[in-house]
Structure 1
Amino acid sequence: DLKGGGGGGGGGGGSNGNGNGGGNNGNGNGNGADNGGGNSGSGKGQAGKSSHVNATTGDEVDVDGNKITVHHPDGLTEKIENGRFRMKDALDRTIIDRPATPADVSRLKAL
């Protein structure tokens, strides 16, 4: 009884080739064609950075690659980085540190 090996999981950074080899077929092709030569998904450099201040709320929003930081006028800071959501108070004390949710990402991007 041949159990299928988990397929190869995609190239460096760019292609999410989910490696589920399908149980019994033993033929787990990950289909991770990485055409980016190591640069795909890096998001660094000037093109990946943006910053603005929300005129209504006064929130300063910085987006750098896959890191989002929001500074609120009252001193609170919210940050999503490396899959974590962190909130700090005006004295730089961490008050929330948990895995980020899609709702966190969309809320901060909407500011």
Structure 2
Amino acid sequence: MILDAKQNEKPAKLTIKFNTDKGTIYLEVPCDIPDYGLQESIEKIIEAKCILDNNSNEGLNDLYIVEDKSGNLSIMTLTEYINYRKSIRQDILLLFNHD
């Protein structure tokens, strides 16, 4: 657990960066990831590497693997990742505004 600016506890996350010939893969996982989660993470890294290796679009060079709102690991482009992070911030703001 880590403390945010308001001293509230929140789960710590670890971001792992993988460089490939065609781009970079970022994997965001909780620090207390269970063994089955680690296996799933490895499978998603392999899937993301295949996407980059088989991609002919020069603009696609970064992929992000994150746990989505339903708890599944998802592979996202930079634009998708930015929109995902914005939606999380909006959800948090809505949650605090209802209190």
- Same fold by TM-score greater than 0.5: no
Range into which the TM-score falls when normalised by the shorter chain? under 0.3
- Normalised TM-score (structure 2): 0.24
Q: Which has the higher contact order (CA 8 A, sep 6+)?
A: 2
Normalising by structure 1, report the TM-score: 0.22
Q: Which has the higher helix share?
A: 2
Q: Which one has the largest radius of gyration? A: 1
